[in-house]
Every structure is written in C-alpha cells, then in structure tokens.
Amino acid sequence: MTTPTPLRLKDCPDWLYLLREFDVLYRHGSAGGSPAIRAHRKVVRDRLSAAMARNPEMIEREGMRKPVSAHLPRALDLGERAAMQGMARALREVKDALTWEYGYERISKSLAQKYAYCEILGPQGPVHCENLILGFVLFAPNTTYPQHSHKEIEESYISISGAWSENNAAVFAPGSLILNRPGDEHRITTGDHDPCLLAYAWAGPEARLSNPEMKLTRTRRASSEQG
Ligand SMILES: [Fe+2]
C-alpha cells in the first residue's frame, strides 16, 4: 500500500482563491493614513505571499459546526450584496469544510450559541503556515463578545457583512478594517437584526500563534457571563 501524497495549496483552487481575496484586501486596501495600520497590512501581505509561494501542504481537518453556523447562509447572502462580495463568494465555496470552534476553555452558554471562529491558514491548517493566522469570526445578531486582548499578537478585523461596534467607539460596515495591537483590550457588540461576519488576521511570534492562550478578561461583566 502506498501512502497518498498530501494535497498542496495549488491542488485546492477554492482555498487558493479565498487566500487571494485576503491578499487583495491587505495589498490594495487603504491604511487610512495610519502608520500602524500600514505596517500591519505589510506584515500580513508579506507573510501571506511567502506562504502562497511555498505552495504549502494542506492539513486535512473534518468540517465542524457550532450553533452560530446556522447564521452563516444569511451572513454570506448579505456579504454578497455589499462591498466584500468577492470574499463572501469565495468563502461560500468552502463553507462545508470550515472548522468552527470557540478557542476558549470556558465559554458562557449564551456566547456558545452566538459566536465561533474558523481558521483558513495557520499552524493548524487547513493551509499550513507558522507565522500568520487568517480566519473568520461569526456572530449572531445582538451578541456581546466579552472583553479580551491577545498576548504578543497583532490582530486586524475586516468587516464582511453585518454591523458591529468595538469598545462602543464606532459602528463598522463591510470593508472597514480595525487594528488591535498586542494587549489592546477589546469588546465587540453586533447589530440587532443580522449576523456579523468578520475576516481576521493574526500576526505574531510563531510560538505564540501555535499557542495563543485565548482568555476573556476578568472584568465584572466578563465574570458574570462565565458559566
Ligand atoms: Fe480579538
């Protein structure tokens, strides 16, 4: 018996086209005049280009659903009608293979119904990369994602569909990019009627990306939501 040859990125056009959508966003979008955002965009696109040029192995994972997955069709419909339609269409092509997960050891019952994320590229795959994680986070309508921060990881969110707010500071529409630097505390709320789908990028040291130790901050609000 021969061992099957592992698939590589170029054998999987749906994943390749989805990564090209990320590449376009981080290459051609605006930094809005912010040096920090400009530097972050460059790190993401350089690491992504290097990963794509390596034609990495695909890590096979079973698709996984979470209760919030039931909101994905509506999120994709809305995404296909708005500024990020290329990304929404490319994501639809791989929707059954997505691995929706929570990332936290403990999560409240209400958050478990309304939140999950899936990775597209990173140390766990499906597209293997050690120094960058790309993925999507999905929220049901009317969700509060409690306060948290990320050690050594710089995070950007790009809005694909739905409306959301970070730290009650502004409301973001499809196409917006938000940067959270390492240690920046952030809390997300989503609109009342529609789900919210965000693409995200995490750049950081390899050891941290393979073990991000996701933890919600123990504010009074977060501890009342644990359970
Ligand atoms: Fe975050």
Residue range of the domain that includes 107: 9-225
CA of 107 to the centre of ligand 1 (A): 15
CA of 151 to the centre of ligand 1 (A): 10
List the pLDDT tens digit at each of the 227 positions of the chain.
667 788 999 999 999 999 999 999 999 999 999 999 999 999 999 999 999 999 999 999 999 999 999 999 999 999 999 999 999 999 999 999 999 999 988 899 999 999 999 999 999 999 999 999 999 999 999 999 999 999 999 999 999 999 999 999 999 999 999 999 999 999 999 999 999 999 999 999 999 999 888 888 876 554 444 43
Q: Does residue 4 fall inside a structural domain?
A: no
Q: Does residue 1 fall inside a structural domain?
A: no
CA distance 165 to 187: 8
Q: Does residue 213 fall inside a structural domain?
A: yes
Say what the pLDDT of residue 220 is: 52
CA of 78 to the centre of ligand 1 (A): 23
| Domain total in the chain | 1
Say what the pLDDT of residue 214 is: 82
CA of 87 to the centre of ligand 1 (A): 20
CA of 196 to the centre of ligand 1 (A): 15
Q: Does residue 192 fall inside a structural domain?
A: yes
CA of 186 to the centre of ligand 1 (A): 7
**DSSP letter string, 187-210:** EEEE-SSS-EEEEEEEE--HHHHH
Q: Does residue 60 fall inside a structural domain?
A: yes
What is the crossing angle of helices 85-92 and 13-28, to 10°? Answer: 160
pTM: 0.93
Q: Does residue 96 fall inside a structural domain?
A: yes
Q: Are 87 and 197 in contact (CB under 8 A)?
A: no
CA of 33 to the centre of ligand 1 (A): 23
Say what the pLDDT of residue 216 is: 82
**For 76, phi and psi rounded to 5 degrees?**
-70, -40
Q: Does residue 2 fall inside a structural domain?
A: no
CA of 156 to the centre of ligand 1 (A): 8
Say what the pLDDT of residue 223 is: 44
Q: Does residue 14 fall inside a structural domain?
A: yes
CA of 208 to the centre of ligand 1 (A): 14
* Angstrom distances, CA of residue 59 to CA of 6, 98, 125, 127, 164: 8, 12, 5, 6, 32
CA distance 61 to 55: 18
Q: What is the CATH number of the domain that holds 36?
A: 2.60.120.10
Say what the pLDDT of residue 127 is: 97
